[in-house]
């Protein structure tokens, strides 16, 4: 078990946006969070990453409360939105900065990035552009690659397929699947795209109004079941 959530609650005004009595995430699992806008997916992720504090309950990562310990940061990486980027840097400058936080030299960083040549599709490196001038899709590519550069054991991605072209979406799914096999990495992914979630994830968590409605392992009927649920 890498993450354990107990009695987790977040309230804004008189509205409870997350209310999760119990949830465990095991090492090596790829978990998809699905739900309509306002379901609480991003709020849940932000509490897992200690970006916002819960109003009740706790998130424990390898037995330690994320609000009171920093040890989880050594093996956890995430990309939730462009707020994680430093938009006045070029992509190269940003990657080198992130690498420096993990004791990687500039040469090591640039060597690492070679494995993402296909994922970048010639649109990221050597462009002479600031991150703020990239499209949303290309900003996503920068954020995801920077997160993966940290060699995490737990990866959290919020809507990673959004704004990516179909070719890059397929390449990202291939990367996630290969990292699961190579490194036994646990991955949490939220997405509105049911096809992508059911393709890349082995466990699905369905959120509605901050509560877990379903939590189940994927099988050949999962996509149909989800489509029927959201069609009701």
**Phi, psi for residue 117 in degrees, rounded to 5:** -55, -45
User: pLDDT band at residue 145, thresholds of 50, 70 and 90?
Assistant: very high
**Rounded CA gap, 106 and 232, in Å?**
52
For residue 12, give the H/E element and its range. strand 3-12
Angle, CA of 7, 49 and 215, to the nearest 5°: 50
Under CATH, which number does the domain 1-75+153-232 receive? 3.40.50.300
Q: Which one-letter DSSP state was computed for residue 18?
A: E
How do the domains of the chain map onto residue ranges? 1-75+153-232, 81-151
Q: What percent of the chain has pLDDT over 90?
A: 94
DSSP of 33-77: EE--TTSSHHHHHHHHTTSS--SEEEEEETTEETTT--GGGGTEE
Look at the block and give the residue holding tokens 């409870």.
16
What tokens does 14 get? 């008189």
pLDDT at res. 183: 85
pLDDT at res. 71: 95
Q: Please check the confidence at residue 77 and state whether its pLDDT lies above 90.
A: yes
């Amino acid at each position: 078990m890498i993450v354990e959530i107990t009695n987790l609650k977040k309230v804004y005004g008189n509205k409870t946006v997350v209310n999760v009595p119990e949830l465990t995430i095991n090492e090596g699992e790829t978990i998809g969070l699905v739900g309509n806008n306002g379901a609480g997916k991003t709020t849940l992720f932000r509490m897992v990453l200690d970006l916002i504090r819960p109003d009740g309950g706790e998130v424990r990562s390898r037995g330690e409360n994320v609000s009171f310990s920093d040890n989880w940061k050594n093996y956890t990486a995430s990309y939730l939105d462009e707020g994680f980027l430093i938009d006045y840097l070029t992509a190269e400058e940003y990657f080198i900065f992130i690498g420096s936080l993990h004791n990687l030299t500039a040469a090591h960083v640039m060597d690492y990035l070679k494995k993402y040549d296909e994922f970048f599709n010639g649109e990221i490196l050597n462009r002479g552009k600031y991150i703020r001038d990239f499209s949303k899709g290309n900003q996503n590519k920068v954020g995801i690659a920077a997160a993966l550069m940290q060699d995490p054991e737990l990866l959290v991605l919020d809507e990673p397929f959004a704004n990516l072209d179909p070719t890059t979406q397929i390449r990202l799914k291939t990367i996630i699947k290969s990292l699961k096999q190579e490194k036994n990495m646990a991955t949490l992914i939220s997405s509105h795209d049911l096809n992508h979630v059911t393709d890349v994830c082995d466990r699905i968590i369905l959120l509605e109004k901050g509560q877990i409605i379903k939590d189940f392992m994927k099988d050949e009927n999962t996509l149909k079941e989800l489509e029927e649920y959201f069609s009701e």
